[in-house]
Each structure stands twice: as C-alpha cells, then as structure tokens.
Chains A and B, each alone.
Chain A
C-alpha cells in the first residue's frame, strides 16, 4: 500500500541524512521525498511517499519517531488529506504540435511559463496521478525533459501537524 508520511524535523544539518539513511539501511521504499523549511525557522517539514505492508509502515513510523531529530510523524494518507505535486515539462512545440500542446495544457489546467520558437515549458500542479495522465496524454516523442517536485501533502480540516 502507498502511504504519504509527513514529518517535522529539527532544521539541523544532518537531519535529512538521518532520515534517508534510515530508509536505505533498513531497505524501506522511497518513492519521493521533499523537504523545506517551515514558517518556524527551527523546523523543516518533509513529505515521504513510501509503500509497504501494514507491518512495514508501522515499523517505518516507529523508526522515524526514534530518530532524535524527528519531532513529529503523521501518516497523512491514513485519513482525508490533500496531495499536490509540481511538474515542469519542456516540450518540442512546432507546427501543429504547437497548438495541440497549448490545448492539452489548458485541459489539464497547466500554464505555459516559457516560450521559444520551438519549445514550451508547461507548469502543472496536481496529484501524482494527474501529472502522470498529462504525460500519458501528450505525444511522448515531443517531451524534451521533465522535472517533478515530489509529493507534498497535509491532512484535511482539523488534522494538523504542528508542534505545540
């Protein structure tokens, strides 16, 4: 099963490698991992997308909680939540493809943020699935490069990950 874990960690050098080292040394999956500072300068927030059986996810959560730099862990995907990922796609855009790309980008609520004679850069936000379907919908031969931020997520409503 796929899980989205959210972590608050001390904003200290080395904290990231403690988390990533834990995943590699214990053989846990990482599908994506993002980390950035929060509004509280002493904390960073990390989102990890991982997968495993219930037992494995339970161990991952316990092991993360054990790390001294980890302040809080929440399995965001355990209940109602929101996920977003950002993707930039550079595509070849000449002739008929130029109009077609623009149309596809609009259908997926993307934005063209860079234009040259022969290319566009399209910015797209959404769930992992949505970004995957966009890539599936356009002609793959026209894709020059893609870059994705990895998933960010948080719980809906009252589910808040915060240090008191």
Chain B
C-alpha cells in the first residue's frame, strides 16, 4: 500500500497501540496533523505548552506500562519540549517524541523555525533519529518504540522534516526489529546470584535498598516475595516508592537526604546491602567517602552496567533485569534454605530502636495548617489509593514522606531532574490513563505557576484532577536552604504578588477553594474528592516557616542526620 509519510507515521502509532498523543501543532507538522484529523484510533490531546505535552506523556507512561507519545513542531516546539525530555531521561521513562523539522533541502540554511533538534537533545535522550527518507519512517519508529521500552527505558526522539511527511512510499510495519549494536537485556550470571545468596544467608545486619528499577521492571510483587523470604528491612528511594508496600512492617521508609532515621542508619551500619534497581544517587548516599568508611558487602542488581560501581564500589555486581534476577533469587532461596532469623534478631532490635525515635513526627497546630497534616489527611480521604503527581520542592518531600504507597506506579514525581512544572501535566497523563481513579497533584504556589496554563487543557478534556497546593508564599525549598546555610537571607525566594488561586481556577472553569484553618482541611478534601467530575483547586494556606525534616546536609554522612530544628 502506497502512503504518504504523514499517513505512515499515523499508521505506525496505531500499530504500536498508542492511546494518546500529547502535542501541539505548527508548520512543520501540518501534514501529520491533517492525518490525525482523519483518524480516530488514538486521541490527540492538545496541551497549552510543549513542555506539558512531554510531561503528560511521561505521567501516562509512569502510571501504565506503556510508552508515552508526544508530538511537537520544529524550532520553538522542539526547544520547549527539551525540559520534558530531560526530565524523562533522568528518571528512565519510556517516551517517543516526534518533532517536525524544516524540509530536508532547507536544513542547515538557518531556515524559519529551524533548530538542530537532534543535536540539542542528544545528551538527554536514550537515542534519537533524523529521518531523511520516507522509506525509513516505519523502521525508524519501530526502532524508537523498541529502544524506548527495552532495557533501561528512556526517551527516544524522531525528527522528521516536513517534505518527508509529504513523500510517498510503500508501507509495511516491521513485525520484528533487531539492532546489532543494541542488546538491552543482559542475562544475569548464575554464579553471581549464587554468591549473592551466600552473602545474604550469612548476613547479620542486612538491608534491602530498592529504587525506580523495581517499578520500571514491574517487579514489585517479586520484591515483596523475596523480602518476605529473607525477613530483612527494606528501604526505598524517592523513585522506588510503591515498589514495596509502605504499610508493611519490614518497610523502614524512604532513605536519603529527607529519609527516615531508621532507613539511613540501617543503610550506614548494615553489613550486607542488597541494592535493587537503585543507582546510589548523591541525594541518597551523600558523601561517598564517608559512606565507604563503614565496611559492608554490596550486591547490586541493575540492567545498566554503567549504574554499577559508578559512585560506590560494589562487591557482587548482577547485570540483568530486576524481575528475572529476583525470580532466580527466590528460586534459590526456596530450594536452598532460608536465612536463620536468629542471625538478624539483634539487628532488628537495633532497627526498631532507631524507628522508635519516630523521625517523621511533626508538631501539629490548631491555628495554622501544617503541610504534613494535609498530606496525612489526603492519604486518609483517598484510602491511600490515589495516583499522586507532584511538583518539586518542600511539598514534594512532604508528599513522599506522608503519603504511604502500597502499590507501584501510583507515585509520579520528577526525582532526577527535579523539574518544577512537572506535576499538573503529569497528573493529566495519569488521569487520562485512569479516568475513573482519583488523581491528586500535590504542588506549591511556585511550581504550579510553571505550567498553570494546563488548567485550560484540563477543562477541555474534563480531567477531574484534585490539585493540592501547599501554599507557603515561598519558594520553600530554596528558603529552607537559605535559612540553614545562608544566614536567613531570603534572596528572591519570596513569591510576591500571588494570584488568588481559587479565583484563577474558577476563571478556567474549575472549582477553587481556599483553606486557611486546620479544622477545614479534611472537609475540603472530602468535598473535592466527592466531586467526581470536577477539577478542584485547593489552595491550602500553610505555615510559611515549616521546614522539611529529617535532613542530611550536603557533604555529610548518612549517620549525621538533623532530625528537627533543635538539632541545628
């Protein structure tokens, strides 16, 4: 069948069973939009800014197991998308981004709306392509989806010049694809797994530290099974939340800069550490030299060899898919014997003692709304079952600390890049993926203004997201660092001239509530979630001076935590 390039793109997306394309039109993609107009197999969601198109595709991908798809025009369309692409890249989220390009003959001539999109995005994509021939479109898109979702996932960009979308050729979508230079799923070596089990069975102070890789590998149930067989404490990174049930008694909470006392002390003093799909980020380990002072054996499971021994030297590297490796470890334990609980009983007493410090406690108030209290109430009102997208800042940390996730893919946050403006569009993607489920966006008055235009998209597509704005009239996370490290000089961190967010939401056609008293928090949340069809913007006027604790200062070790302002 002879089709135009634009028809081929649309057919490829259909073949990939794409449900939603998030995008924004422009000159270079007019042929593509013409074909989208003529079809109804997938839906196009018109965002109000290309950054939001990519974040929405990202939120969709994180809350499903599918590849998210975004479509943008050349030049400014592509550059606006870059923040979204980099965000997905840092958190290993599978996306395919299609960008229009000026016609092939105009490339390199500083044509109208020309930028070197492949060059600009090269450092923040898993891979990218410039398609110069209509006959290459189908195979390139097939490769793009394959690369995005396999191995360590990531965004793949396909740049298509306008003339290529108008040319014609015979269309056939390849069934299979093989790329000789790309073998994404290494098979773990049985010998390494055997060594790992040996270490784990002899451990006296074991710790299981898991991250985003468990979620990406859809291996949460396997992790739970392995952890139960071993009976060891489990901690999650920010990206790993939901990969292990937060309500489980073996769970010691998140670790790292704003993690619990018990998780960080456990991580520091353990004798055998099992790291699963986590990359020893600087927000987690802090000072690596300090971390290395305490002797321990480290087993590290990761699909990407470059994640292993990058920041922290590992004793037993296991290169493979988390799911496959956990299966093999479970099988090994089931046939070869369980650990003796007596070996670890003293360690558990120690962990429980650390736990009894209750590092997540906060002083609630009758007069002023405490942000932690809002998140706790949100958890209660939604039964812990909401999809929660966040922006970046203090509110993000309170969301991570006080909303316990029992299931994976419910927690949607920008961890690696820390992109303000991510929350609302990501929540849109989550809500489209799960139209009948509650979706909350926990945000701050600073972050929400970075993509606030998407309230309009939410109206158009009737997305009943519940926005929980923890409004402290400050770029709170910045203010906290200025308070602690810069002598209370709050340089440019005050949010002046804020709009009345409730009225702003109403102007977009939504419901807006302003909540100022602690006694009204629960009622507002209940009212909001009872409005099944409405987007409700809740502007919680919270305590301006509240800080995120516990905290590890930059350069300090995991056992040098500040638990509250009294420790400063």
Interface residues of A (CB under 8 A from B): 9-10, 13-14, 17-18, 21, 25, 55, 58-59, 62-63, 65-66, 68-71, 163
Contacts and interface: CB of A to CB of B under 8 A. Distances in A.
Interface stretch (B303-311, B369-377, B467-475, B527-535): B303-311
A58 B309 contact: yes
Nearest to B129: A14
B119, B126, B179, B180 pick with most chain A CB within 10 angstroms = B180
Contact of B306 (A9, A17, A66, A71): A66
B181 A17 contact: no
A97 to B, nearest CB: 47
A58 B314 CA distance: 13
Given A9-B181, A58-B309, 9 more contacts: A10-B181, A14-B118, A17-B119, A18-B122, A21-B123, A65-B305, A68-B147, A68-B179, A69-B181
Contacts of B503: none
Contact of B180 (A59, A63, A71): A71
B135 interface: no
Given A59-B306, A66-B304, A66-B306, A21 B180 contact: no
Contacts of B119: 17
The 7 lowest CB-CB distance pairs between A and B, nearest first, are A62-B306, A71-B181, A68-B127, A62-B305, A25-B123, A68-B182, A63-B306
Contacts of A71: 180-181
B118 A55 contact: no
10 contacts: A13-B130, A14-B118, A17-B119, A25-B123, A55-B309, A62-B305, A68-B181, A68-B182, A69-B181, A163-B180
Contacts of A14: 118, 122, 130
A59 B122 contact: no
B309 to A, nearest CB: 7
Contacts of A25: 123
Contacts of A10: 181
- Which residue of B181, B182, B309 has the most chain A CB atoms within 10 A of its CB atom? B181
Contacts of B147: 68
A31 to B, nearest CB: 22
Contacts of A70: 181
A131 B147 CA distance: 44
A55 B288 CA distance: 14
Contacts of B310: 59
A17 B309 contact: no
Contacts of B127: 68
Contacts of B180: 71, 163
A18 B313 CA distance: 27
A163 B304 CA distance: 22
Nearest to B310: A59
Contacts of A58: 309
Nearest to A25: B123
Interface string B177-218: 001111000000000000000000000000000000000000
A21 B310 CA distance: 19
A65 B151 CA distance: 13
A62 B186 CA distance: 13
A62 B317 CA distance: 14
Contacts of B181: 9-10, 68-71
Interface string B116-136: 001100110011001000000
Nearest to B304: A66
B61 to A, nearest CB: 20
A163 B179 CA distance: 13
Nearest to A22: B123
Contacts of B179: 68
Nearest to A62: B306
Interface string B369-393: 0000000000000000000000000
Contacts of A63: 306
Interface in B113-160: 118-119, 122-123, 126-127, 130, 147
Contact of A21 (B122, B305, B306): B122
A110 to B, nearest CB: 39
A106 to B, nearest CB: 45
B182 A17 contact: no
Contacts of B313: 55
Nearest to A63: B306
From A14, A17, A25, A70, name the one whose CB has the most chain B CB atoms within 10 angstroms: A14
B180 to A, nearest CB: 6
Nearest to A14: B118
A68 B151 CA distance: 12
B304 A17 contact: no
A62 B313 CA distance: 15
B283 to A, nearest CB: 19
Contacts of B309: 55, 58
A130 B304 CA distance: 40
A63 B130 CA distance: 22
Greatest chain B CB density within 10 A among A21, A62, A69, A71 is at A62
Nearest to B180: A71
A25 to B, nearest CB: 5
Interface in B263-316: 304-306, 309-310, 313
B505 to A, nearest CB: 41
User: Could you say which of A21, A25, A55, A66 has the most chain B C-beta atoms within 10 Å of its C-beta?
Assistant: A66
Interface string B298-338: 00000011100110010000000000000000000000000
A25 B147 CA distance: 22
B316 to A, nearest CB: 16
B125 to A, nearest CB: 10
Nearest to B313: A55
A18 B118 CA distance: 10
A63 B126 CA distance: 12
Among A9, A58, A68, A71, max chain B CB count under 10 A is at A68
A9 B127 CA distance: 14
Nearest to B156: A68
Contacts of B305: 62, 65
